[in-house]
C-alpha cells in the first residue's frame, strides 16, 4: 500500500518540480515580476518532495531489499546492481535532491531582485530535478 502511494506521489513530485523549473525559466526570460504565486509554487514543491522522501524512507526500511542488506551485508548489496540502486543510489540521490531544494528555498530569502529570485529557483530546483530524474527506477516504476 505505502509503496503504491510512493509511486503515485512520485508523479505529483515530478510534475511539481517540472512546473516550478519551467515557471522560473519562463519568468526569468520574460523579466516578469516575482509575485505571491511565484513563491507558493516552490514552497508547495518543497512540501510535496519532503512528503515523498518520508514515504520513500518508509518503503526503503520495509522492503525486501533492506532485508537483503540485513541478511547479507553492504558488500553483497554493492555487488548486486538492483539492490545497490534501491538501497544506496536511489535513496541517496533523493535525499541530496531534497537537501538542494531546501537550500534553494532558503536562499530565496536573501535575494533582492526578481531576476535573482527566479534564477535561484531555476538553478536549485533544476539541479534537484536532474538528480531525481537520474535515479528513478524507470524499469520498475510502472
Mean pLDDT estimate for the chain = 93
| Max Cα-Cα span within the chain | 56
pTM over 0.75: yes
Encode pLDDT of 72-108 as tens digits: 999 999 999 889 999 999 999 999 999 999 999 999 8
Encode pLDDT of 3-36 as tens digits: 888 989 999 999 999 999 999 999 999 989 998 9
- Grid cell, residue 95, equals 535525499
Looking at residue 142, what is its pLDDT?
A: 54
Distance CA 134, CA 142 (A): 16
Distance CA 120, CA 8 (A): 28
Please say whether the dihedral angle defined by the alpha carbons of residues 3, 14, 66 and 55, taken in this order, is positive or negative: negative
Amino acid at each position: 500500500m505505502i509503496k503504491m502511494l510512493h509511486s503515485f506521489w512520485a508523479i505529483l513530485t515530478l510534475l511539481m518540480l517540472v512546473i516550478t523549473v519551467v515557471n522560473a525559466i519562463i519568468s526569468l526570460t520574460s523579466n516578469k515580476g516575482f509575485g505571491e504565486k511565484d513563491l507558493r509554487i516552490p514552497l508547495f514543491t518543497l512540501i510535496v518532495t519532503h512528503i515523498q522522501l518520508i514515504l520513500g524512507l518508509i518503503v526503503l526500511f520495509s522492503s525486501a531489499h533492506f532485508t537483503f542488506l540485513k541478511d547479507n551485508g553492504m558488500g553483497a548489496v554493492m555487488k548486486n546492481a538492483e539492490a545497490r540502486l534501491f538501497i544506496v543510489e536511489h535513496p541517496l540521490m533523493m535525499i541530496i535532491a531534497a537537501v538542494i531544494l531546501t537550500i534553494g528555498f532558503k536562499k530565496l530569502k536573501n535575494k533582492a531582485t526578481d531576476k535573482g529570485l527566479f534564477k535561484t529557483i531555476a538553478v536549485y530546483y533544476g539541479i534537484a530535478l536532474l538528480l531525481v530524474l537520474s535515479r528513478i527506477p524507470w524499469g520498475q516504476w510502472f
